[in-house]
Structure 1
Amino acid sequence: MTVLDILGLIIPAAIYSAAPLILTALGGVFSERSGVVNIGLEGLMLFGAFIGILTTLTTEAMLGDVAPWFGILVGGIVGGMFALLHALASITFRADQVVSGVAINFLAAGLSVFLIKKIYNKGQTDFIDHRIYKRDIPFLSDIPIIGDLFFSSIYITSYIAIALAFIVWYVIYKTPFGLRLRSVGEHPMAADTMGIKVNRMRYIAVMLSGVFAGLGGAVYATSISGNFTGGTISGQGFMALAAMIFGKWHPLGALGAALFFGLAQSLSITGESIPYLKEVPKIYLTIAPYVLTILALAGFVGRAEAPKALGTPYEKGKR
């Protein structure tokens, strides 16, 4: 097996494994740049996956191949609505943001499993008939070497996720909305004196985090798993949170970190086909992404400076 053959296995797998992480990490960037800690990304991603599959199963007889795309859209919308619970608790009622996020994770897990049993009378949904499948990108896939590695047999959702990372970077760093968002996360009192409605900006940011996490979960479910169980999302939300921290709360940094974690995940998928790696026990390759997550959160990759007002509820007129 040549080097190109090995790269042909690893790179496409890394890109499609990274797509849900990229989307969810971008959601985390919105929330935490505004000053609201969002540990609930796992739960938001999980509920988005559930809604994405449920919507696809409900509409695929009518919509056909469009159904999973519609499921992804609805998953994002419902994820945004679900995130408002976290916003209400942490912004309006000034509850501990970490505790609120953990509650979101438990609520999403319990509610989705309960609804599955009520709707399907079993512990999982049916498999969807119409999924997001791999395809070649016209013209680009014909480029020698690069075309085979990056543009052949790929999920379109992966490149949508990468494009959204650049769009989010532009929004946060090049628009008035992004300036206001960053200001309420760095110095909310100064932002308030300039006429920026701090709590409203934070509500919008938390809702956007839910939209992106819901999209990430729905993309995972409709392109990778094909159905939903209580264990469909098992740590990917926390990996996305780690990618956001690894990327220093920057959209493009989160993109790079998510691709790195996606590479680690891809090795557990393709390792059995790669020389030397196939000699490594599969369990080690399976746990590698989670070990990297722990190392990232522990600061192994360097000190990451969070937004200064992160985790601090804002009370008007109080320093």
Structure 2
Amino acid sequence: MTANTNSYHRHLEIESPTRQRVMGVIFLLVAFSIYFFFARTTAAETFTTFGLNRGATAIQVPDWELPTQSTLTILAVLSAVLGGVQLARGFKRYTNWVLAVVVAFFVFGFLTWAAADKSLNLVGLFATTLGKAVPITLGALAGILCERSGIVNIAIEGMMLSGAMVGALVGSVTKNLWLGLLAAIAVGALMAWILGVLSIKYKTNQVISGTVINILATGLTSYISAKFLQTYQELNNPGIFKPFQIPLLSKIPVLGPILFDNNLFVYLLFVLLVVLQVALFSTRWGLRLRSVGEHPKAADTLGINVNRTRYMGVILGGMVAGFAGGYFTLGSVGRFDEVMTAGRGFIGLAAMIFGNYMPFGSFGAGLLFGFADSLASRLAILQVQIPSQFLLMAPYVVTMIVLAGVVGRSQAPAAEGVPYEKE
């Protein structure tokens, strides 16, 4: 035991200075990029205007006007100072927080440079970011419920797609959005049950099982859409849940229009984040669910029914994925189109890994993806000469960096993907 402890401390002594230097160099590179690519290429008399209002629902505040070059120079200097401190003595356990600050400096610098001599509405940008993050975060939460119980779920895309189509169909036929939403959740649970049967009962390879469900969902929804929904438009016109303001809170300047003037899906996402965080890490139910994903044999020894608990986790995850699918047709577009989820289920899986299988971490990752998606459209309006594809690549590049261990290694449940054989 003592030898292992000493070896562990020696390992830390070797790695910590290396990570300290690497992070310091990264901070300095960010500082150099802000100055060289942004500040140096901007005229001294240029100003950037950031809009801080969205409509007339909240208390109006003056727009934020900044001298572009001076602002960029200050951001570069601050990043360089943080990089120097990191190289000299490091920020220890706060390094990741400082990294977040430096990245925020870079993003704000980029926005300041992109909107030079123009106006960019920050409130509108962040509100759009939140909306685009909803299905991604819900997909990540669906993955957390499944994978915390030990089942790999790459079928989230298929569950979301099925939920989107069935939600639109049932909502159109019944003329009731709530019934459409319940149908979307139910079909997500059905797809998850199929995944559970294949993975838990028959112990098939879980990646293959998920792939089969994705192919099934894509083919079935595309066929029904082409055969019926596109032909009979009355079957594909459910309407959408309208945004509604939360009294008083929606009047808060800046934050009010972003957080408290949304539709049902955004508010339920916030509720679900809190409920899942508490349920997974502060209740007996959550402890049992996580135990069958970490050490199913020990859980079985303590009297926990491993397979039943895994079924529960998978089906709950499927319900969340179906709810996420309902967002596309009942919360956003108001109709179903073929393959309209456009890979959001897979992006949700990336957000789950990025967030280290934690609800709020996944939400932060979802916001990152949503921000890149939203920013690409805004920059097109500003006529910034950067291909939008590069902006859409950014979150994936960051995800690879995170998984490589710069921010900290993501830790999957130990028994994830391993069928349980009861002795």
Secondary structure of residue in 2 paired with 1:232: coil
Alignment counterpart, residue 10 of structure 1, candidates 100, 122, 125: 125
- Please give the alpha-carbon distance, in whole angstroms, between the structure 2 residues aligned to 1:143 and 1:281: 36
1:247 corresponds, among 328, 343, 355, to 355
The structure showing larger relative contact order (alpha-carbon pairs under 8 Å, at least 6 residues apart) is: 1
Cα RMSD (Å) of the superposition?
2.4
Q: 2:148 aligns with which of 28, 33, 40?
A: 33
Comparing 170-179 with 187-196, which one deviates more in the overlay?
Answer: 170-179
Matched, 1:96 2:205: yes
Aligned to 1:150: 259
**How far apart are residue 225 of structure 1 and its match?**
2.6
Query: Cα 1:89–1:174, aligned 2, differ >3 Å: closer, same or farther?
Result: same
TM-score (norm: length of structure 2): 0.68
One of 345, 351, 355 as aligned partner of 1:237: 345
Query: In the aligned structure 1, how far is the partner of 2:379 from the partner of 2:331?
Result: 21
Alignment of 1:14-163 (within 5 A): 14-60=129-175, 67-120=176-229, 122=231, 127-128=236-237, 130-152=239-261, 154-163=262-271
| Counterpart residue identity of residue 281, structure 1 | P
Q: Is the 8 A contact 1:24 1:214 kept in 2?
A: no
Deviates more, 1:212-221 or 1:121-130: 121-130
Deviation at 1:53, TM superposition (A): 0.9
For residues 132 and 221 of structure 2, the distance between their equivalents in structure 1, rounded to whole angstroms, comes to 23
Q: Is the 8 A contact 1:9 1:270 kept in 2?
A: no
State the secondary structure of the residue aligned to 2:160.
helix
Give the Å deviation of 1:163. 1.7
* 2:372 aligned with 1:264: yes
Residue equivalent to 1:219: 327
Tell me the secondary structure at the aligned position of residue 248 of structure 1. Answer: coil
Contact 1:265 1:288 (C-alpha < 8 Å) held by counterparts: no
Matched, 1:203 2:303: no
Q: Please tell me whether the aligned partners of residues 117 and 124 of structure 1 are also in contact (alpha carbons under 8 angstroms).
A: no
Aligned pair in 2 of structure 1 residues 309, 77: CA closer, same or farther (>3 Å)?
A: same
Report what 2:416 is aligned to.
310
Write the deviation string for residues 134-187 of structure 1: whole angstroms up to 9, x where unpaired.
Answer: 3332211112232234334x2331121122011011111111111110110010
**Cα distance, 1:302 vs structure 2:** 3.8
Maintained 8 Å contact 2:161/2:217: yes
The runs of 5 or more residues in structure 1 that have no matched partner are 61-66
Contact 2:158 2:217 in 1 (8 A): yes
2:122 match: secondary structure: helix
Contact 1:242 1:296 in 2 (8 A): no
Q: Give the AA of the match of 1:151.
A: F
Corresponding position of 1:189:
297
Tell me by how many angstroms 1:287 deviates: 5.2
Contact 1:49 1:75 in 2 (8 A): yes
For residues 180-223 of structure 1, give each alpha carbon's deviation from its aligned partner in whole angstroms, at most 9, with x where no partner exists: 10110010000001110000000111111110000001112222
Q: Distance in 2 between matches of 1:126 and 1:296?
A: 44
Partner of 1:178 in structure 2?
A: 286
Question: Paired residue for 1:63?
Answer: none
Q: Report sequence identity in percent.
A: 41
Equivalent position amino acid for 2:342 in 1: S
Counterpart Cα distance in 2 of 1:161 and 1:234: 20
Distance 2:170 2:405 in 1: 39
Separation in 2, partners of 1:125, 1:247: 41
Amino acid at match of 2:360: L
Whole-angstrom distance in 1 between the partners of 2:366 and 2:306: 29
Could you tell me which of 276, 279, 282 is aligned with 1:168? 276
* Counterpart-to-counterpart distance in 1, 2:301 and 2:399: 39
What is the CA-CA distance between 1:299 and the residue it aligns to? 6.3
Distance 1:284 1:124 in 2: 37
